[in-house]
């Protein structure tokens, strides 16, 4: 029972953050364009990355696609960590690590609506 409640709360946090960041990328928020721009992404590339983030968020919400959604979101977070490390930005990479670990923890706890 406690693991289902924990999983539910963590999934809600992931969904909130995924929607918030995905929409920021899709709408082309200046801070997103600046961050991705230094890695060679143009506005369209940032929008595609935002759509991937929103897609992974939607997949996480559905029990049957939960694993695929977490895999996709973890991959996008890992890509951002790699870009940050490539730039030598350890602080930026460290900021992303808890989000990656959150996805892994939710995978371990499983979807609360899954039998």
Q: Is 53 contained in some domain? A: yes
Residue 86 located in a structural domain: yes
Instruction: Look at residue 115 and tell me if it is in a domain.
Output: no
Q: Is the pLDDT of residue 44 over 70?
A: yes
Mean pLDDT of the chain: 93
Place of tokens 């992931």: 14
Measured between alpha carbons, how far is 89 from 81 in angstroms, rounded to an integer?
Answer: 9
CA distance 102 to 19: 16
pLDDT digits (tens, 9 = 90+) for 79-89: 999 999 999 99
The count of domains in the chain is 1
- Using 50, 70 and 90 to split pLDDT, how confident is the model at 115? low
Q: Is residue 114 part of a domain?
A: no
Residue 15 pLDDT exceeds 70 = yes
pTM for this predicted structure: 0.89
Q: What is the domain extent for residue 61?
A: 2-109
∠ CA 89-11-9, rounded to 5°: 110
Determine, yes or no, domain membership for 89.
yes
């Amino acid at each position: 029972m406690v693991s289902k409640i924990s999983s539910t709360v963590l999934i809600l946090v992931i969904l909130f953050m995924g929607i918030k960041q995905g929409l920021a990328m899709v709408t082309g928020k200046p801070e997103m364009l600046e961050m991705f721009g230094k890695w060679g992404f143009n506005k369209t590339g940032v929008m595609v990355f935002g759509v991937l983030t929103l897609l992974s968020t939607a997949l996480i919400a559905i029990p049957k696609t939960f694993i695929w959604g977490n895999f996709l979101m973890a991959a996008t977070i890992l890509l951002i960590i790699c870009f940050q490390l490539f730039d030598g930005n350890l602080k930026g990479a460290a900021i992303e690590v808890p989000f990656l670990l959150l996805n892994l923890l939710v995978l371990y706890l499983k979807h609360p609506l899954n039998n």
